[in-house]
A and B are shown apart, each in its own frame.
Chain A
């Protein structure tokens, strides 16, 4: 257990569905991240939130919409996804302070888009 939880762990959705992924961290961190890991590819950073403000959007399509209501929670809202969006979606958190920047990852949500 890393102190970062993600729900659901598995999700199957159609291309017309709307769903949300949830991430919660119990570490008192102030930065949170979404990563995508497609089959046979390295992890790709999608979004960064620092003190609830989005500080990075790594050219992610608008069908992915992040939300960070507070420093402990992060959501990824999904709508009209494509089959190529099937991947493992990982959340991470860290503290934005020298010596405390280590990112801790959740277990991920395995998403299948049909």
Chain B
């Protein structure tokens, strides 16, 4: 089972920031928070990941609370092309022959960006 909880859907106005929350209250110390998104019928696209510190790249920012029990993905200026299902995933390091590093996808948050 997925170790994260996300709202099933969210709306965002085009040009505004989209803030997608994720709860992962059972995260352990060596587990990362990963975010992917999937545009309809395409392969999931990697967005960003983090362990403890906040992270930013060209696509998004990831804010992780100090207790690591929740995080927020921020798309600073949402466009219509950001409409997708966003997955928050907790995973450990992929040990050879182990499953700790496997990605377990939940249902994600369906983000609809509206004009």
Contacts and interface: CB of A to CB of B under 8 A. Distances in A.
A96 B94 contact: yes
Interface of B: 2, 34, 36, 41-46, 49, 91, 93-94, 96-99, 101-108
A79 to B, nearest CB: 24
A66 interface: no
Q: Which 4 A-B pairs have the closest CB atoms?
A: A105-B43, A43-B105, A42-B105, A101-B94
A45 B103 contact: yes
A88 B38 CA distance: 12
B102 to A, nearest CB: 6
Contact of A2 (B43, B94, B99, B103): B43
B94 A94 contact: yes
Interface centre among A44, A56, A103, A110, by most chain B C-beta atoms within 10 angstroms, is A103
B43 A45 contact: no
Contacts of B104: 45
B41 A110 contact: yes
A57 B98 CA distance: 11
